[in-house]
Structure 1
Amino acid sequence: MAAGRFDYESVFDEDYIYFMSERLGDTQSDADVALIDELFGKRPGDLLDLACGHGRIANRLARRGYRVTGLDSSRLLLDQAQADARAFDVSVEYVQGDMRDLHWTERFDYVVNWFGSFGYFDDQHNMLVLEQAARALRPGGTLAIEMPDYSSLLRHYQPASVIERDGDFLIDQNSFDPLTGRSTVQRTIIKGGQTRRAHFFVRLFTYVELKEWLTTAGFREVRGVDESGGPLTDGSRRMVVLARKQERPVSIPSRSSGTPSASRQGPNRQPGQRA
């Protein structure tokens, strides 16, 4: 199957919510948010939900006291997220945008990218997503990326999968290309007697490869856990990779003058960055 184009609007629409409502319902969403809160030490702060979808993570984190901004490319999903935020009685800033082009600099304590929402582009632009996340984080901030565990997914890789709801069907035909690391999906939706198709792909990563990418993007202290927050093993079904942005070096007073020395930030410090 050819890689083709990622058909975002046809993949992330009302049918996505319809067919995924059970899999991504309250039980799973509550468990996801409890894990995120635990991994962040239950210390609410400013958080960006990157590729937030219909807000199932963002709204629940806001209810736990996080100051949440959600970004997604789908207006339809963002409208649903805003409606759900009103039902949750929480305040979340929802922004339509592209995760490769964020407009924040050192704005957040945390960035979350959940449920396999990383890897939608070619490698150059996937790396750009990590670099943009690093820029959006304050020094010492943490990025959390959740995705399928590479080895487990390949061991149980299925050429096709089917979701049925009330006589409607979502059928995925899957293929994996080991030369690109991409899992490509041809999706067929049969709903209300109508049939339509959509195409998408996701770049898969081993923990070791993603750790190297994160280090290149400017992160430090990278670690991986499984879907329960426990150690990542060859039996893990999914993995969460946590990466901490490097702290800004502290200025050291000069011994000779008693005045602060020049910052050791170096020549790459940008005008307007927080001191």
Structure 2
Amino acid sequence: MTEQDFDADGLFDDDYLHFFAEPLDDRADAETDLIWRLLDLEPGMEVLDLACGHGRIANRLAERGCRVTGLDATPAFLERARQDAEARQAPVTYVEGDMRSLPWERRFGLVISWFTAFGYFDDEDNRRVLAEAARVLAPGGRFAVELNNRDWIIRNFQPASIIEREDDLLIDQRTLDPLTGRAVTERTVVRQGRVRRIPFYVRMFTFTELRDWLLAAGFRTVTGHGDEGGPLTPDSRRMIVVAQT
């Protein structure tokens, strides 16, 4: 699959929210607790949620007193995020934009990229995202990336999965490309009698590879954690990588 085959607009749309928003919201409180504990957050801290989606983490961090900015490229996600923030009376600044070109400089104490929100570009642009995260952090600031652990994926690879929501279906058929390090997916959405197909991929990383990319992007130290912030092992389904400027 080439970059031209990646249907980003088709991937991140109302169908995505239909199938994923509710289960993601169900786990958002626990994930916010983990972020708060693992990263030693405090009220008043300036936080950027990079690829914030529909605001499930950003709004909860704002409720706890952080000064939160959320950036995403999908207007529908941002509109839902703003509505939820208003309902919660949680002040969050939401910005439509591209994570490869951020409109800030040395501003944030923390940048987060949660739930595999990193890895959707070619390697050059993925590296550019890391460099941009480093650039917008204040001295001593941290960048936390939560994503799949490639070691676990390789050992537990599932070539297909199905999600049902009432009469609607989301079917993913996957392959692994060892030449690019990508999990390549052909997604079929069957909703309200309409069928459409969305090709996409996501870059997978071992800790050591992503660590080296982060160091090359200008970060000074990088640490790795597994599920729930515990030790990172081959049995960790998820990986949290924390880099400091």
Distance 1:56 1:25 in 2: 6
Distance 1:231 1:225 in 2: 5
Contact 1:148 1:239 in 2 (8 A): yes
Match for residue 158 of structure 2? 158
Distance 2:41 2:74 in 1: 30
Contact 2:181 2:203 in 1 (8 A): yes
Q: RMSD across aligned C-alpha pairs, in angstroms?
A: 1.1
Match for residue 267 of structure 1? none
* Residues 1:223 and 2:223 aligned together: yes
Identity of aligned residues (%): 52
Match for residue 181 of structure 2? 181
Secondary structure in 2 aligned to 1:61? helix
Match for residue 91 of structure 2? 91
Distance 1:137 1:203 in 2: 24
Match for residue 258 of structure 1? none
Distance 2:129 2:197 in 1: 27
Contact 1:3 1:201 in 2 (8 A): no
Shift of 1:209: 0.2
Distance 1:238 1:216 in 2: 23
Distance 1:33 1:5 in 2: 34
Distance 1:42 1:106 in 2: 18
Distance 2:238 2:38 in 1: 15
Contact 1:62 1:91 in 2 (8 A): yes
Match for residue 31 of structure 1? 30
Tell me the amino acid that sits aligned with residue 36 of structure 1.
I
Shift of 1:87: 1.2
Shift of 1:153: 1.0
User: Which residues of structure 2 form unaligned runs of 5+?
Assistant: none
**1:211–1:241 CA distance, 2 compared to 1 (3 A):** same
Distance 2:3 2:218 in 1: 30
Q: Rg larger in 1 or in 2?
A: 1
Shift of 1:23: 2.6
Shift of 1:168: 0.6
Q: TM-score under structure 2 normalisation?
A: 0.97
| Greater per-residue helix proportion | 2
Q: TM-score under structure 1 normalisation?
A: 0.86
User: Which residues of structure 1 form unaligned runs of 5+?
Assistant: 246-275
Shift of 1:3: 6.3
- Size of the aligned set, in residue pairs, is 244
Shift of 1:2: 6.1
Structure 1 residue ranges, 4+ long, deviating more than 3 angstroms after superposition:
1-4
